[in-house]
Structure formats: C-alpha cells, structure tokens
Amino acid sequence: MRAAVSVVFIVKDEADRLAPSLASVSWADEVLVADTGSTDGTQELAREAGARVETIPWEGYVATRNRAISLAANDWVLVLDADETVTAELAAEIREAVAGPDGADGFRMSRLSHLGSRPIRHGVWWPDRKLRLGRRSRGFRAEGGHVHEWIEVDGKVRDLSRPLLHHPYRDLADAVRKIVLYARLSALERFERGGRGSVLLLVLRPPLEFLRSYVLKRGFLDGRAGVAVALLHAWYYLLRAGFLLEATERAKLERA
C-alpha cells in the first residue's frame, strides 16, 4: 500500500506568495493550511487550490507548529512555510523515500535560499539542512524556544539529496521586519536562559559573523548577493546583541 503524505503549512496573511507553494505540493495526499488569523484572503486562496484550511490560535512558534501537525490526517507529514516550494525532483524523492524508508522515521533536506531571484549556494545560508519530513507515530514534532524552532523525530533520520527552495524575504522592508523580530525574540530567549549582554559582544560579534559568512563559508562566490547575505547576517547579530544588552541594563535598573 502506498504511504500517504500530508503537507502542513502555518500561515498568516500570505496571499501574495502562498499559491506557488501550494501548487508545488499538489501531488500530496493532503494539503493542510493552518491559518492563525489571516485577513488578506489567504484562506480563500488556499481552499480554491484544494487545501484543507483550519483556523488555529497563535501560541508561539513551537506550540502552533505542533498543533498544526496534530491536525494532519496521515502519519507521514511534510512541514512547509509559505516561502518554500518543492521542486518536481524533490517531490519524486519524497514519494520514493516514504515508500521505502529503509528504517528511517524522518528525512532532512537542504534549503536553497534565494535573495531576490539569486540562489545562494555559499555563506551561512547553505546548505541549511532541516528535518522537515517525518512520521507522527514516531514523535514528529517541533521543539525550541521563542523563535527558530526545529523539528525532531524519535527514530533514524536520513538525508534527501534534492533541495527545498526558499525565498525568505519579499523585499528589503520584509527583511528588516523579520530580522528585527527574530533578533529581539532570540535575545529574550537568551536572557531568560541566563545570558547577559555586553558592549564587547556588541562590537566584536557582528564583524566576526560577516567574515564567517563572506570569507570562511565563501559567500564571496555568490557575488554581490553574497555581500548582502553576509551583511544581513552580521546585522542580525548586531541587533541581537543590542537587544540583549538593553534587557541586561533594564534588569540592573529594576534591581537598583
């Protein structure tokens, strides 16, 4: 019997870019769009594309992801975001993998991220391997803190060879918004775990991260896009260090 696959999205106000993602998984046995409160026609677009739509509350990245996974009809689940698409080659590899998993309960895949239309094949954005396909019966779930959740499964994990296509930013304004949000949440998470900010961290970490992406990970081979990725990466660390320092100083004032 052929193994059935559910594809599960978490979305909010993604009508401008969800359609290609949905079209790329039309081969799946179920496409579930878990919507956390869209007002831009996302739900209608998803239904017209043949997806099953469920409205769920936003409870944070981990809890919301797990709620969405729990609503899937099938054991095998592929977790995607609205900025990701599955190529025909990756789709064929996924179907082959679940048909004969060779003892594996989960599968990792690389994400080929794009800056605009340019694929980024070097720097900190590549290969960005993520566990995205797994069996619910083997504990396929999200874990993590305030931001950047990851997926776990209780069993053997294998790698797929074909990449998942990723377009993380609509434009520069979207990049700014997301990087500020993720840096703030990451700083909060670090502070709650006992991390403290410092001027030294604020000054030293960003240039080191730029060099790591652009030089050590050969981001220069991506040309001007490689410079932009390294700058965005360094800016994230500058903001995170700044938010962490702000939280540290605020705590000192509250104790005074």
Domains of the chain: 5-166 (3.90.550.10), 172-255 (no CATH)
d(CA 41, CA 163): 29
- Percent of the chain residues topping a pLDDT of 70: 100
Q: What is the pLDDT of residue 148?
A: 81
* Pick from 129-138, 140-149, 159-168, 174-183: least confident: 140-149
Contacts of residue 172, Cβ cutoff 8 Å, sequence gap at least 6: none
List pLDDT tens digits, range 121-147: 999 999 999 999 999 999 999 999 888
List Cα–Cα distances, 99 to 66, 161, 248, 254, in angstroms. Answer: 24, 16, 52, 58
**Residues of the chain with pLDDT > 90: what percent?**
95
The rounded distance, in Å, linking the Cα atoms of 223 and 118 is 10
Query: In Å, how far are 35, 45, 54, 152 from 38, measured between CA atoms?
Result: 7, 11, 11, 28
Residue 145 burial (CB count, 10 A): 16
3-class DSSP state of 38:
coil
CB atoms within 10 A of CB 61: 18
pLDDT band at 194 (very low <50, low <70, confident <90, very high): very high
pLDDT at 106: 98
- pLDDT for residue 230: 98
Under 8 Å between Cβ of 44 and 69: no
Binning pLDDT at 50, 70 and 90, where does residue 1 land? low
* pTM, two decimal places: 0.92
Per residue in 71-104, pLDDT tens?
Answer: 999 999 999 999 999 999 999 999 999 999 889 9
